[in-house]
Structure 1
């Protein structure tokens, strides 16, 4: 491959083949410019329903709609050339029955160009995962803390501690057997995440899980310090762009009030010979 050639975007089977190999790199994002920035560095980009909280100011992901996911999926797709895109199925669009899930998953793939969809749930979603995969829809599963279910989980709590570990392990094995090509493990004890990674044949993607997972994912706005409404323990801030932006905006406001901006170099003169253009 030449220095200027672009790598082919991976497909779900390529992610599956990375089980036990080089760690899989992924981030969640929602816009074209951010997708362009991360495209050379990640294996897949998740258009997450966390967009409702991060960009739309919602208090949870429950109110996110299909239209929101498709809009942001289309935006992210425009910024990608070498990473695969996965799009979340929002709450209420797949739980009723497999047929409902297929209609909505097919719509998202058709209208965004996504390579796969992600849905939350373990054993109780295995039938739906199998139904989708058999009909050509690659599925990434998501177990542990499933944000769409916080009203029944009692909030954003660690999942799989104590006796609950066996149930989470059963969820992981069920989604793998149903045909999911990878599974996100969110907010589970590290030791349990390591056990799941060792015992299931599909890649595990950790978020608040373990460095031993087959890959990792974070919301890009979290890791860049752009979203600061709250900070989960599992988020590492690799930058403080929110603080930088606040300082820059304050400096802009000061310059405007002092009539320092715009300066001569930012305005246009009359179109006279030899005059400013």
Structure 2
């Protein structure tokens, strides 16, 4: 049996990276896909790789929550429900606090945090009525620790943990689930698309990212976690990341000293 046979899986940030890999992985497990991101042409390419038949391309901008009710209605008209909502869309950051304009902080929070919250609230009533549904939230190891040049990004990921931990407690009795996913360094375009202090993209690959865990293997780990309905998992190769998490828990001052040395001169 395919683990997600006939399940309706809605993935945001599905045009590339982890999102595109998740689309292929869920399709291989029998899911009916709703794929969202801002660029329709790239979503169409992902659909073609994922089998194409029966999937729905639904462009979405996470910074425009007023559009979400109509998009949810479009999904319901097509499939009648949402079984799994994968919050994967988001943007990263590469700038010191002193160099980051406040509007850039706000944009990152609007996309990474408020976008996920707004879409959750748009989908939640129908899931509660059906007493079934699953929110899979792609956070980050940065949702647990903080390092230089990631202040707004880390804040948005920390916020996701707070919100979805609370939501999990509220909806567990109704048959709904929340899984928080914390990737380490994954081989995607995240660093190229990361915002600098003035809001422009960095347009440069980083060694930790280019040498990171393959997105396809990461997607399989996420599917395993979702199928097992785990509350929180760490995915990727997790070498340096796992060490940082252990230090954060048991030797926080040691980690503080390490990250101070990472501040650009």
TM-score, normalised via structure 2 length:
0.36
Relative contact order (alpha carbons < 8 A, sep ≥ 6): 1 or 2 greater?
A: 2
